[in-house]
Structure 1
Amino acid sequence: MSSYIAPAENISKAWLHTLEHVVEAGGHAINVVSTVANPLAPEDLPIRSAIDHTLTEGYRHGIRIQSVDTVAGTIFPHDLYADTGLTYRVGIDPEDVAKLDASAADLYTAYGEMLPILATDTANSRGTYFGRMVSWPGKAAGGVNQIADRITRLRRSFDTNTARRNVEDIAVGGEAEFGDDVVGLQTYAADDRRERGFPCLVHVDLTLYQRRLNMSATYRHQYLVTKAYGNLLGLSRLLGFLAKHTGFEVGELMVVATFADAEQGTYTKRGVAELIAAARTGL
């Protein structure tokens, strides 16, 4: 049965409430909808400390464990982005627009230069999330930059005072077809028989409503301990980047997990219960 988690004020509480719900449901749940009302709100330190302490990099029962920031960087490489402190706005000075665009271009270039190295990791054999967003299909630089295209489209909406519209999707999973207007139409290869694996994140959608930019993301399999917190952090940073470069306010972030996994097989029921207890300390 599908589950709707009440909207949380920040990514920390959204993650914790979702994990608690899935644990109460027996460790697994389908079609779980989690919402962050303010994705850029400060994180809760007790919750972040608990998950950071749990995610010791290395391998656990054959599962590769990465830090929260490493996982977040697969969606938005925050460390490669030099924030100018500027925000796109009505009547913005052309020189400031140039600075904004240069900071984004530097990010795309830096990541493109890293792609050959990232591709040597077996986990990235089919590309990376951010690589697919800025250089589809994501294995090398020079592909279709969906992020740059979405910024162009969103600025057009901002300049014409458009308050409501869907701004298409950002293809991540399957295949995508791009026409002259560079709109990504996400499809799936007929010969793709993979039951599980990259990408778990298959769809990102952007929607304008009341001059706020909202994001929804769909995961085939959401690993709630090893991946989910980092995924929320990366998505929130990506949404903040898009809002800064297009002038819109940051709206809500919604994540749909078609299959949510509390990973009690990897961390044991006791281990996950201890994680939740530690996250609740000080709240």
Structure 2
Amino acid sequence: MAVLIHGDRIVPAWLEAARHLAGCKANTERNLVLEIATPGVLNEQDRDVIGAVDTALQANCPGLSVQTVASTIFPSSLYKLDKRPAFYESYVNAMAKGQKKGGWGTYALRMIRRVARNGKTTYNPLETLVRKLQASKEGRCYQAVYELGVIDVEYDLQDDGFGFELPLYDPAADQKKPRNMPCLSHLSFKVTGGKLDITAMYRSHWYCQRVLGNLVGLNNLHHYVATESGFERGVLTVLSTHALLDVKSFGGAKATKALLNSFG
């Protein structure tokens, strides 16, 4: 049975979900859903929680932080520096120099640069999405359209298509990988009452090591798409089809319980 957690902000929603997982058998849950009304709001207490999580991660997962995880979804600092559309090329060039061999890249790279079906040319699904949302303000605005579990992204996002979806799973690259593959499977954008909502679906989600950073990154992506397309932001919904409280990432079960209980 699905578990639905409502929250006004990212951090309290993550904390409630993590505490729920701490009480589950094997610290796992199926179809754990977070629905966050105002994902762009962070107060001082939220920042303190993020700082504490960063400290735990740095002690047990060297090189990992909430911000490094967030930047795999959207390069917010590069966008602020170079603006759209220049930041696209800057990011692709940076990844070409810094990407590890054998890795699959980042979610942001898959959103910004995809190889076309002809195997030769590339296209930018994220930019296409922004332009289609911009155009919807001048013509008919579709609230909910085709899902890319069925429709090919190249055709769904073309000029005469009605898609507002961003798939992250790449069959050509990922079909033979049982592990070391993207956990974020799909991003769906919907216009509701003039506001832009975003829904993210994860096939597997580690709540200690990844989720808080994922939520920050999704918030940054949400802000980018809404700002550039001229929509007010709405709700952020995150579905973890398999959610795990990976206590080793925080130093073990006792350390994780103590950390979660230390927050108000």
Tell me which interval the TM-score lies in, with the shorter structure as reference length. Answer: 0.7 to 0.9
Q: TM-score, normalised by structure 2?
A: 0.84
Displacement after TM superposition at 1:170 (Å): 7.8
Q: Distance in 2 between matches of 1:196 and 1:257?
A: 17
SS of structure 2 residue aligned to 1:166: coil
Structure 2 equivalent of residue 114 of structure 1: 94
Structure-1 separation of matches of 2:10 and 2:178: 29
Please report the RMSD computed on the Cα atoms of aligned residues, expressed in angstroms: 2.8
Which of the residues 243, 246, 259 maps onto 2:226? 243
Q: Tell me which residue corresponds to 1:16.
A: 15
CA deviations on 1:33-67 (whole Å, 9 max, x unpaired) are 1111111112413322221221207xx4xx66511
Residue by residue over 1:99-158, the C-alpha shift from the partner in whole angstroms, topping out at 9 and shown as x without a partner, is xxx821111011011121232x14x622211000000159xxx73211110011101112
- Deviations 1:223-274 (Å, cap 9, x if unpaired)? 1011100000000010001111111110110111111110124431111112
51, 63, 68: which is aligned to 2:53? 51
Alpha-carbon distance between aligned partners in 2 of 1:177 and 1:32, rounded to the nearest angstrom: 26
Q: What is the TM-score of this pair, normalised by structure 1?
A: 0.78
Amino acid at match of 1:156: A
* Rounded Cα–Cα distance in structure 2 between residues aligned with 1:185 and 1:248: 18
Q: Which residue of 2 aligns with 1:156?
A: 135
Q: Which residue of structure 1 lines up, in the alignment, with residue 34 of structure 2?
A: 34
Q: Which amino acid aligns with 1:14?
A: A
Aligned to 1:165: 143
Cα distance, 1:71 vs. partner? 0.5
Is contact 1:28-1:260 (8 Å) kept? Answer: yes
Q: 2: CA distance between counterparts of 1:215 and 1:248?
A: 12
Q: Is the 8 A contact 1:217 1:256 kept in 2?
A: yes
Unaligned runs of 5+ in 1: 84-101
1:166 CA drift (Å): 2.3
The equivalent of 1:3 in structure 2 is 3
Shift in alpha-carbon separation, 1:48–1:167, aligned structure 2, 3 A: farther
What number of residue pairs does the alignment pair up? 248
| Local SS of the residue matching 1:159 | coil
For residues 69-112 of structure 1, the C-alpha deviation after alignment (integer angstroms, 9 at most, x for no partner) is: 111000011110127xxxxxxxxxxxxxxxxxx82111101101
1:193 deviates by: 3.9
Gaps of at least 5 residues in structure 2 are none
Distance 1:107 1:169 in 2: 28
Kindly report which structure 2 residues correspond to 1:46-195, keeping only aligned pairs within 5 A, or say none.
46-56=48-58, 60=60, 66-82=64-80, 103-119=83-99, 121-122=100-101, 125-137=103-115, 143-160=122-139, 162=141, 164-166=142-144, 177-179=153-155, 181=158, 189=171, 192-195=175-178
> Structure 1 vs Structure 2: percent identity of aligned residues?
26
Whole-angstrom distance in 1 between the partners of 2:253 and 2:184: 25
